A and B are shown apart, each in its own frame.
Chain A
Amino acid sequence: GAVVSQHPSRVICKSGTSVKIECRSLDFQATTMFWYRQFPKQSLMLMATSNEGSKATYEQGVEKDKFLINHASLTLSTLTVTSAHPEDSSFYICSASEISGGQYNEQFFGPGTRLTVL
């Protein structure tokens, strides 16, 4: 299947700093990218979806000014956690999909980023 990379895999930062997470589709053009947050032993919480060249669509309850998403190209999306606090510590996962011929295809997930805010 298609490959999605995510960087960094793990980051530890001090409270108040900003952290950028990159998500890249390596061998296909991602029409849509998704950002999820996952708490221990819990399901995925969709934070936002983004289409190349347009603003991200955030889910209810997700602060767009705190979680900045940029989808600058068909292969790259970034999530920036601004002024991170300990409650932002979590496992962040991106995924990408290609919508071709009007049909949605399965998502391909990155390996995830473990963020720890001290």
Chain B
Amino acid sequence: AQSVAQPEDQVNVAEGNPLTVKCTYSVSGNPYLFWYVQYPNRGLQFLLKYITGDNLVKGSYGFEAEFNKSQTSFHLKKPSALVSDSALYFCAVLEGGSYIPTFGRGTSLIVHP
């Protein structure tokens, strides 16, 4: 069975500082991993994904994530946060052979001016 955990309900960071939003997963076999962002009263937008290949994945809006198999993690990162990055971020995992991903509970990112 597949599962994903986002251990932080909220992350606060000052504008210009690096940010990290954590995600850990559990699957049988190789994972497909995704990050999505949701702005207030909107649907989710795809940010990036890891399927195979390079462990460091670059995505939209300057975000990147690193797949770490030994730690079963896929943390989302950005070198310099913007106030406009404030939103709800969801990590999702899918194990091979499945087509229904499991979403984390979401992490609210708040970037202070």
Q: A residues touching B (Cβ–Cβ < 8 Å)?
A: 1, 4, 6, 32, 34, 41-44, 46, 49, 91, 93, 95, 97, 99, 103-104, 106-112, 114
Is the beta-carbon distance between B99 and A44 smaller than 8 angstroms?
no
> B58 at interface (Cβ–Cβ under 8 A)?
no
Chain A-chain B contacts (Cβ-Cβ < 8 Å), number: 55
Is the beta-carbon distance between A109 and B36 smaller than 8 angstroms?
yes
User: Pick the contact of B43 from A41, A93, A99, A104 — CB < 8 Å?
Assistant: A93
Contact indicator per residue, chain B 83-113, by CB within 8 Å of chain A (1) or not (0): 0000000100010001111011110100000
Separation of A82 and B46 alpha carbons in the complex (Å):
31
Closest to A57 in B: B100
Q: List residues of chain A with CB within 8 A of the CB of B101.
A: 104, 107
User: Pick the contact of B105 from A43, A91, A112 — CB < 8 Å?
Assistant: A43
Is the beta-carbon distance between B106 and A43 smaller than 8 angstroms?
yes
